[in-house]
Amino acid sequence: MSYKNLIIRNAKFLLIEDSQLVIKRRGETELAIPVEDISIILVEDPYSNFSSRALTELSKHGVILLFCDNSYMPTSFVLPYNQSYNQSKILKAQICLSKQIKAELWKKIIKQKISNQESVIRFCNNNDYTIQYLSKYKNEVEINDEKNLEGIASKMFFSSLYGDDFIRFTESGVNLALNYGYSVLHAAIVRNLCVMGFNSNLGIWHSSEKNAFNLASDLIEPFRPLVDYLLYWHQDELEVPLSKDIRKKLVQLLKRRVKMNKKSLTVEYAMEQVVKNFLNVVTKNELNEFSLPEIESIQFLENEL
């Protein structure tokens, strides 16, 4: 099923009527959407009001709400609660997951992330030097990535896409767009983890005491290059704050397609499959079935859509 991802920009009130989310918009006709069709709601309008019943029904259907600040950056989540019937069983299995299996999983995740970065470079600027080294790093990833090839590869990757002067986490349009795009993908993974009964605090590699979503921070890694791929083609449009058009494009990434197990899937559905695969690893120790997305060529420019 293809879910809808909503961006709320001009809503006076949101409520539930006949199993539909009714959005009463200022100066415009109201909009009604079946609750069961919604996956994520990004609330950019600081004056939007939700009825308590709307919040309850959205949570029952596993919908995640992201609330944004005045710069349109997501700052908080509203997550569904107790969505799975076997949460205790999954929690015990997560706790018992061996260090060896975690290490193998992390190796697969990092190898696929670097592989996807390599693909993005091929599709963007085809920089032979960067491609050569990313391919080399991908093949040299070891258990627990003790050489930190993930970090080395990412630094080279960003420099190739955005220039040698690019520095991550500065207050630039590129970094703002990266943070926004990663937040949207992260939220989509968190939704699947909640629905399937995982405790997202318990990560594979990430283990920060300040991060309530360590597991989502692990599983997002192979998807991150999708954001970089999109933004490469729109660098001249990245400003502070981000434009409505760029924000919309970043949310629409969830509807783009990747390859997984030789099948073409939407990014959103691929995330669901990754979480299901991880569930099999946790409950059945089926490590061989833990597959990850491969990024294929995507036409991002408006006149190519």
The rounded distance, in Å, linking the Cα atoms of 28 and 16 is 18
The rounded distance, in Å, linking the Cα atoms of 138 and 21 is 45
The rounded distance, in Å, linking the Cα atoms of 229 and 237 is 14
Residue 155 reports pLDDT greater than 60? yes
pLDDT tens for each residue of 190-227: 999 988 999 999 999 998 888 889 999 999 999 999 99
| 305 pLDDT tier (thresholds 50, 70, 90) | very low
DSSP H helical segments within the chain, as ranges? Answer: 52-60, 87-96, 99-124, 128-140, 149-162, 173-195, 214-219, 224-232, 244-252, 267-284
Mean model confidence pLDDT for the chain: 91
Select the highest-mean-pLDDT range: 36-45, 86-95, 117-126, 201-210: 117-126
The better pLDDT of the pair 82, 251 is held by 251
The rounded distance, in Å, linking the Cα atoms of 124 and 170 is 23
Please tell me what DSSP assigns to residue 243: P
Do 134 and 117 contact (CB within 8 A), yes or no? Answer: yes
Q: What is the mean pLDDT of residues 138-160?
A: 94
Please count the other Cβ atoms lying within 10 Å of the Cβ belonging to residue 103: 16
pTM: 0.92
Structure tokens at 184: 């949207």
pLDDT tens for each residue of 69-89: 988 888 888 877 666 668 889
Our measurement of the distance from residue 85's CA atom to the centroid of its chain's CA atoms, rounded to an integer in Å, reads 25
The rounded distance, in Å, linking the Cα atoms of 119 and 135 is 10
